Structure 1
Amino acid sequence: MHSSEFRKVAMAGMLMALLTSCSRTPSSPAAKVAAQPAVQPSAGAQTTTTSTATGHVKLRLLPAIGENVDSFPRVVPNENVSPPMAATLNTKFDRLDSDMRKGLHECKTGARKMHPDDSAFDYEHKLSVSMRGPRYLSVLVSDAYFCGGAHPENNDEALVYDVTTGAAIDWLTMLPGSSIGYKAEDTSHSSSVIWPPLQQLALEQADDDCKDVYREKNLSFILWPDADQGAIVAEADGLSHISSALCGEQVVLDIPSAQRLGISPTLLSLVVAAHAASQTSAAKNH
């Protein structure tokens, strides 16, 4: 399905959902993430470098799983990342790629039951890297898929890993005590949070037509560090399909704003360092 056709299907799906007053189902905002250049899979493996708390970490880029379906990068062990630590991270990426293949297969199978010519199928799984160290590796996932149902779906995730431990970041430990949230059962995923100050900021910046979306009780957010912007970025999680498409905006916390809110000073100092490295790299490229 061409992108223009997909957009038509998406709009038709939204109208159908409104007319039929379908029930709300959790899905993440459709907003595309602002990030460093995307991790683009290639026909052959490539390597790039990621700075960490102790040096550079090599990433090996794998061929795409399918058309518009990216593979996760793999960490290459070197003098800065021990083989066991690289293996820990790569096991997570192996499992995530395996889950994606399964999801892709199930989506295509379901769509073909209704439309054997694949006219009801479209699937995108795009990855980008928003922070390349020090200490944290942040991979952003943006999924958009249509499996023959009432309307297309979308889902954004932020997978942030501490490359010194191999663990996904626990955002509940990075925020002041007023935050509550969820810890993913799958340790490949970072936690989402319910944090009133963040929800208030989202409410304040929302358009009038979207205010009620951000007044919803216990609205959760995904977060990630963004080196290019020198900021912590947040996005509402679990919005309905229509709310996600119309009101899924990002909240960008620059360093002064994040400091006033009491976000971990250690994390913010690393984001500052990552931003400086990003700007230096950009200047060299010009």
Structure 2
Amino acid sequence: MNQILRLKLGAATLLALVANPTWAADRLVTVAAQPELKPCLAAMPQIAAPADDAERRINAALKRLDGNVRKAARSCQADGGANSSWTRTIRTPMRGPRFLSVEISDDMFCGGAHPSTGLMAIMYDLTTGVPVDWTKLLPPALTGKVALVEGMDGTKMVTLASKRLHALYLERYRPKTGAAKRDGDDDACRTVVQDTSMGDPPAMMAWPDAKAGGLAVQYDLPHYAQACADTVVIPNAVLRREGAQPVLTDAIEAAHAAP
């Protein structure tokens, strides 16, 4: 009898997910790692047991990103020969409700004097299965100029060039610790990121980080200063004060509180 009841409840839950995709997106999703494309080159993860078309659309989009890095890695090997390399690590710092964020870190050497590192971040709306429209989540002061840029493998990402967002980043970048040696070592990096604010604001990537409880922000720096390209998290409380939409801040709060 109990087994029959469980089957009925399971069927009812599945029917509700299909009939109401918004309700489906209000849950945390399970993200499954996939076999590496090659040693040290991580494949994009997949939403396990996708509940609706939106989640299946995200899985298909993530699969396409694997094609981008395969092609880029082959080109890199053609240029750099036997000494070339491309490594990739992937994190999913938010897995619902409502949003899935994917953080992709690449390290590649295709010949030349030095390797290159890069970070890409994509945030999907679990109700639609497509990347989010930041202008519907953040106020104009934080979105600034919205643009598409290409990552190291040709993947297109949304960036926000906003003086206010950059100011919030700078306020939290490598704060002084009181330890003379550490603060001295960080001074050069502080100078680099400060200099980027002298003219137009940089094109910044943004994505929610559930564990950190806020919006992660990072942007590219000149090759010589790539080691200074830190990710800074703007707390959820600050986002609320700045006018971020509740659909974003409530989702981050719920994800942060989840076990």
Q: TM-score, normalised by structure 1?
A: 0.69
- Alpha-carbon distance in 1 for matches of 2:27, 2:138: 27
Deviations 1:196-245 (A, max 9, x none): 111123344454432213334131110010111111111124x2212322
> Are 2:129 and 1:166 aligned?
yes
* Residue aligned with 2:251, SS: helix
Contact 1:128/1:139 (CA < 8 Å) preserved in 2? yes
Query: What is the aligned partner in structure 2 of residue 154 from structure 1?
Result: 117
Matched, 1:198 2:179: no
- 1:262 equivalent among 226, 233, 243: 243
Instruction: Confirm or deny: 8 A CA contact 2:57 2:129 kept in the other structure.
Output: yes
Taking only aligned residues, the RMSD between alpha carbons, in angstroms, comes to 2.4
More helix by share: 2
Q: Does 1:53 align with 2:25?
A: yes
Measure, in 2, the Cα distance between the counterparts of 1:177 and 1:192.
13
- 1:1-286 correspondence runs (5 A): 53-78=25-50, 81-82=51-52, 84-112=53-81, 118=82, 120-178=83-141, 179-183=144-148, 190-206=157-173, 207=187, 208-210=190-192, 211-237=194-220, 239-245=221-227, 247-277=228-258, 280=259
In 2, Cα distance between equivalents of 1:70 and 1:151: 22
Comparing both chains, which one has the higher relative contact order based on Cα–Cα distances under 8 Å and sequence gaps of 6 or more?
Answer: 1
For these two proteins, the number of residue pairs brought into alignment is 216
Change (3 A) 1:107 1:180: same
Residue identity over aligned pairs, in percent, reads 31
SS in 2 for 1:137: strand
Alignment check: 8 A CA contact 2:31 2:95 kept = no
Shift of 1:60: 3.6
Q: Is this contact kept in 1: 2:205–2:218, CA < 8 A?
A: yes
Q: Does the 8 Å contact 1:138/1:161 carry over to 2? A: yes
- The one-character-per-residue Cα deviations of 1:78-133 (angstroms, maximum 9, x if unpaired) are 5xx22x33331122112100111111111112111xxxxx2x32221110110111
Normalising by structure 2, we get a TM-score of 0.75
Letter of the 1:171 partner, please give it: W
Distance change in 2, residues 1:215/1:248 (3 Å): farther
> Residues 161-185 of structure 1: CA distance to partner in whole angstroms, max 9, x if unpaired?
1111001112232221232221469
Rounded to whole Å, the distance in 1 between the matches of 2:191 and 2:31 is 43
SS in 2 for 1:268: helix
Q: Unaligned 5+ residue runs, structure 2?
A: 1-22, 174-186
Distance 1:185 1:71 in 2: 19
User: Distance in 2 between the 1:52 and 1:127 partners?
Assistant: 24
Equivalent residue, structure 2, for 1:34: none
Q: C-alpha displacement at 1:159, in angstroms?
A: 1.3
2:180 match: none
Is the CA contact 2:137–2:247 (under 8 Å) kept in the aligned structure 1? no
What code does the residue aligned with 2:201 have?
Answer: N
Quote the offset at 1:195 in angstroms. 1.3
| 8 Å contact from structure 1 (residues 161, 168) kept in 2 | yes
